[in-house]
Chains A and B, each alone.
Chain A
Amino acid sequence: MKKAYWIFAVFAVAFLGDRIGGFVLSKITKESQFRYSRLYGSSEGADVLFVGNSRGLSFYQPYCEEKTGLTTANLSYNGMPIDLAVPLVMDYLDRHQPPKVLVMDISLLDSVRMDNKLVFQFNHYSPNSERLSHLLKADFPNDYYAGRLSHLYRHNSEVFQRTFFYWKKSDKDWLLDRVISASMVDDVDTQKALRFHYSPKMLEKLDEMVKYAQQKGTRVELLVNPYFPAFVTKIENMDSLKIDVSKATGISVRDFSNAVQETEAFGDYQHVNKVGAMRYIDRLIAEGVLK
């Protein structure tokens, strides 16, 4: 039986290593300059709060701050689903001085292109948020419990990789900075139509978030961010999405899908690059969204 001890030793060493590793990684998470680390780790508020999926990254913060003099925070993330955006925004509103304006791109109301699995990638932030923890436990119970069992597993995600990447540097200039390729421009007509797949439940959640922000005295702006001009015609149900969102929230949606026209201002069909982001911010200022 003596020979069996090494198995217990392996588990003991692994457990100890897991706890030490988890402790170090959670320190990094706390100290990181990444947007969600600042959401949960800092009490410093901002005047403008942006929310969206990868298209929400076109709210280019350095340029916006320079042009408006307002401070900004952005909770956007690639593939962000509304289920995740709502608790993050609510947590922000609870933990910080409410912003003057909450600006949200409504293209995250899409159950097909948005990634609901993103929720478990926020596992390492779950100890900081009851809302996140609750969502994780409800939607991904295995990951929730695995994260409690192994603290390293809790940090096993791309979101943590970004948390680590922005440990010592600001993430405010996170943006898709490339120019759309010539072949993509040529192929735009052959692209499949884009359709938003949204449900009444998703609209309810959005409304819940909007009302929560308004109760805190925050103005809410719901927008459609720019698409590559020739791609806009590929979107089948943009108008019905805007109407349904307006009905659900009582806020009329501002459509900027055609706000940027130059080919060089896009990284691909659905994302502006830095040039496009700056044009877009100028337009938001001119239209009074950012004031």
Chain B
Amino acid sequence: MIFNSLTFLAFIAIFLPLYFALKGKARLLLSLTASYIFYGWWDWRFLSLIAISTLVDYYLGLSMERENEEKGRRKLLIISMVLNLGFLGFFKYFNFFTDSFVSMLQGFGMNPSVHTLKIILPVGISFYTFQSMSYTIDVYRKHIQAEKSLLRFSTFVAFWPQLVAGPIVRAADFLPQFQKDHDFNWDRIVSGTGRILWGFFKKCVVADSLAPFVDQIFAEPNGFASVNLLIGVIFYSFQIYCDFSGYSDIAIGFARILGYDFNENFRKPYFSQNFSEFWSRWHISLSSWLRDYLYIPLGGNRAGKLATYKNNMLTMLLGGLWHGANWTFVFWGFLHGMYLIGQRQLGKPFGSMMNGLRFPKGLKIGVNIALTYFFTCLAWVFFRSPNFATAMDVITGIADLEGFGFVNVMNKFTVMKGVLLIGILLVIEVSDLRMRWNSLAFRNPLFRIAAYAVLLLLIAFFGSFGSGAFIYFQF
């Protein structure tokens, strides 16, 4: 089930009144059932995966807590990792690794006869697997206690607002919130509704309006003039941001209405001045997961320069692979790894050079933001392209500057609409730094009514309602 569908409207119309009418275990049971319906609407067969993952991690968590020996605890953790990563590896990466292995053998002149399987990728498997894994790791590390209630734990793993596309919530943050009933609260309804509307604006208005142009460009970049390829890449950077952060906004908004608090997943990432800042603003729940469960255990930045670079690169490569079973995603991660390393190496000399130029502070910030955005877009080309050949066609097509003029801009009306919508988005985001729209809406009822009504009108006038799923569902 997707948020931007009539089915979901019916789902929420039934779920919300029931949710607030019930208390205690009955409410948890309703939440769990609703979550399984929400997920099973796509393909009920894959509910078994969530159920198995939940049951195994629940019992392993309890066993781990009872186990005093470090060796025994470690063994239980390994079982959990093998199971979770085994599911993920099989459903997401089996064909990828088989194909890559075959290609490698072919490179050595061999011609193996290997059959790949027709495997359907379960929606959201990367998200709930990481969520469940974080629980067992935290129990193993004794950062949290094992959850005693299977019902609570199952609801934590499958909670519908963030089940299929995050944010990835941590057991330490989220499980305690299930300990008590959350009463119906108007303040939460107010602020949650605003967040949901803003999410729908980003998804239906901005992301889905940009999508057709982007799809056209990346389907066959060779036929397009340079200017169109450039517009396609810029549009994609905003499409993926609005699509993904829009989903997070909607998830956070619904959770807030239900009485739960999720951590922020995006904080205006395209205003970052360097790449470590970018990763503290983009898909925060994943980047912090990778930091806490991969980068720091690898040694982080405590073991010298080279080890830090190695850890940076390894983390980003795995971050890339997490997104999808394709070498283009791995390369996207590699580029970001290189950016982080480059920043550590060149950041200081570049800063000194900028200081030497005596630019005004605002200009310096602008240059940093523009450079970070430029390199981010370069990496997005690989992320979006189905293969390296397409990515190179896009990059070289832009670089050769053939047909770089306004007259060659195709679908001018789509482009004008896209530019206008990105403009609206940026104006709201930039002004939010000073105005804090959400708190203003919260304090001033008249402003809130006007703001929410304007969002509804913008969605009606500019929204695209036919394109369906969110990009991050495939991850």
> What residues on A are CB-neighbors of B417 within 8 Å?
158, 161
Residues on B with beta carbons closer than 8 Å to the beta carbon of A47: none
Cα-based distance from A10 to B225 in the complex (angstroms):
45
Interface size class of A (residues with CB under 8 A): 20 to 34
B450 touches A13 (CB 8 A): yes
Q: How many residues of B contact A (CB 8 A)?
A: 28
* Cβ of A152 to closest chain B Cβ, rounded Å: 4
The residue that B449 contacts in the complex, of A10, A153, A177, with Cβ under 8 A, is A10
A66 interfacial contact with B, CB 8 Å: no
Q: Does B21 contact A (CB under 8 A)?
A: no
| Residues of B in contact with A (beta carbons under 8 Å apart) | 186, 190, 193, 222-223, 225, 402-403, 407-408, 413-414, 416-417, 445, 448-450, 452-454, 456-457, 460-463, 466
Assembly CA distance A67 to B86 (angstroms): 74
Interface of B is mostly: helix
Asked if A183 lies at the interface with its beta carbon under 8 angstroms from chain B, I say: yes
Known contacts A153-B460, A155-B461; A178/B408 CB under 8 A: yes
Decide if A286 is an interface residue (CB 8 Å cutoff): no
- With the chains together, A152 CA to B457 CA distance in Å? 7
A150 to B462, CA, bound (A): 12
- For this complex, 10 residue pairs linking A to B, each with C-beta atoms less than 8 Å apart, are A3-B186, A4-B186, A6-B190, A10-B448, A10-B449, A13-B449, A14-B453, A18-B457, A117-B466, A161-B417
Bound Cα distance from A160 to B463, whole angstroms: 14
Assembled-state Cα–Cα distance A178/B193 (Å): 48
A287 at the interface (CB under 8 A from B): no
The reply to whether A21 and B413 contact each other, CB–CB distance below 8 Å, is no
A10 and B414 within 8 A (CB) = no
> Which residues of A sit under 8 angstroms from B466, Cβ to Cβ?
117
Q: Which residue of A lies closest to B411 (CB)?
A: A158
- Which residues in A have some Cβ–Cβ distance to B below 8 Å? 3-4, 6-7, 9-11, 13-14, 17-18, 21, 117, 150, 152-153, 155-156, 158, 161-162, 165, 177-178, 181-184, 187
Chain A residues lying within 8 Å of B186, measured Cβ to Cβ, are 3-4
| Pairwise interchain contact A156-B449, C-beta atoms closer than 8 A | no
Counting chain B CB atoms within 10 Å of each CB, the highest count among A14, A21, A183 belongs to A14
A18 touching B449, Cβ below 8 Å: no
Distance of A156 Cα from B402 Cα, bound (Å): 33
- B413/A162 in contact, CB under 8 A: yes
Residues of B within 8 A of A165 (CB): 413
Chain A residues with CB under 8 A of B460: 18, 150, 152-153, 156
The residue of chain A having its C-beta at the shortest distance from the C-beta of B225 within the complex is A181
Bound-complex Cα distance A196 to B414 (A): 26
CB-based closest 5 A-B pairs? A13-B453, A14-B453, A3-B186, A152-B461, A14-B456
Contact: A181 with B457, CB < 8 Å? no
